[in-house]
Amino acid sequence: MDSELQTPTKSGFSFSKLALLVGAVLLLLRLLRANAAVDFRSRTILISGGSRGLGLNIARQFAKEGANLVLLARDEDELKNAKRELEGMGVQVLTIEGDVTLKSDCEKAVKATVERFGSLDGLVNNAGIIQIGPLEHMSDEDFKSAIDLHIYGPLYLSRAALPYLKRGRIGRIANIASFGGQVAVPHMAPYAASKFGLVGLSDALRHEVAKDGVLVTTVCPGIIRTGSHVQAKFKGHQKSEYKMFKLGAISPLAVDPTVASKLIVDAMRYGDPYLTFPAVIGWASLLYRVFPNLAALVLGILVRFMPPPTDESGDETLSGIQLESGEGNVPFAAVADKAVTANNEGKA
């Protein structure tokens, strides 16, 4: 009888110890995170694809913190517009016209950064491309361009930047991957393949350079309302694909880019290994990994309700800007259209 009475006491005691241990570990992690925090004032941050969209919003957030900014992008006019705005916020801005898929351009960009500011403290690998349509219409070149931009671009820039990021042992790298790098969303095969690759590259970088004081953050957001729908590329039933994609930008799940950029900069500040948002995206990604067979079944059914492949006309690539007229319009999409102008994405 005595042993029976003691059993609950022992179990309760063990549970209490476990709770205390978990609490202590969480507190320790919180203290370590706070200790790793970096003040970005007067630090130099290089952002690829920084002239528009999410990249521009990240630059705006760093500008609020007083960082020196380097924007690397391909469009001269977009760079000029971004520079004018950011300099109006009282920070120094260097713009570099270049292509991250070219190793030489990446090396030149890093060299120009250090020559101008004397250091490089943070790198945001943000440049990207979105191609949407059935797999049947995606060419080898579509896959190659996505892989070049989402994998080789970050690799080239990171390799060029690492010698300088290591110097102060407070270097930061953020690789802007995607929910599409955790879950293979239908009709986005090149995007999914390349973003999955970027997640792997980002993880590998993190493990290898942490010893040198460089902390790498893998960012996997859901839809961000930047107006990027007009820059996306569409194949198959282009207008139907465009309508579906634009609807995502006005859905309740779409995140405001100001909120997104603040989350990203904070994650870099503390050197967080992963950032996934919004919360529902994190849960969906977890379920995809825990129940892969069920996820495959659900996504396989979803494809049946999406625009099917068409004839050879579907092999043509049309941008959202080209489709933003007549049948391509989406009702109640004013909020998405405003984001185009606000984030330097081009005329809708």
Q: Which residue has the tokens 């994998």?
A: 151
Residue 332 in contact with residue 246, Cβ under 8 Å?
no
Question: What pLDDT sits at residue 168?
Answer: 86
Question: What pLDDT sits at residue 336?
Answer: 82
Tokens of 19: 């709770």
Question: What pLDDT sits at residue 170?
Answer: 93
| Regions in the chain scoring below 70 on pLDDT | 1-13, 31-32, 34, 326-332, 347-348
Question: What pLDDT sits at residue 301?
Answer: 97
Question: What pLDDT sits at residue 332?
Answer: 58
Q: What's the pTM value of the predicted model, to 2 decimals?
A: 0.89
Tokens of 333: 């999409």
Tokens of 275: 């950032």
Question: What pLDDT sits at residue 214?
Answer: 98
Is 270 one of the annotated active-site residues of the chain? Answer: no
Residue 125: beta bridge partners? 175
Backbone angles phi, psi at 93, to 5 degrees: -135, 130
Question: What pLDDT sits at residue 328?
Answer: 47
Question: What pLDDT sits at residue 1?
Answer: 46
| Active-site residue identified among 152, 156, 164, 191 | 191
Q: Residues 84, 54, 119, CA angle at the centre, nearest 5°?
A: 65
Query: What homologous superfamily is domain 42-342 in, according to CATH?
Result: NAD(P)-binding Rossmann-like Domain (3.40.50.720)
Helix/strand/coil percentages in the chain, nearest 5: 60, 15, 30
Question: What pLDDT sits at residue 24?
Answer: 76
Question: What pLDDT sits at residue 308?
Answer: 97
Q: In what order do the strands lie in the sheet with 233-234?
A: 131-132, 233-234, 318-319
Question: What pLDDT sits at residue 23?
Answer: 78
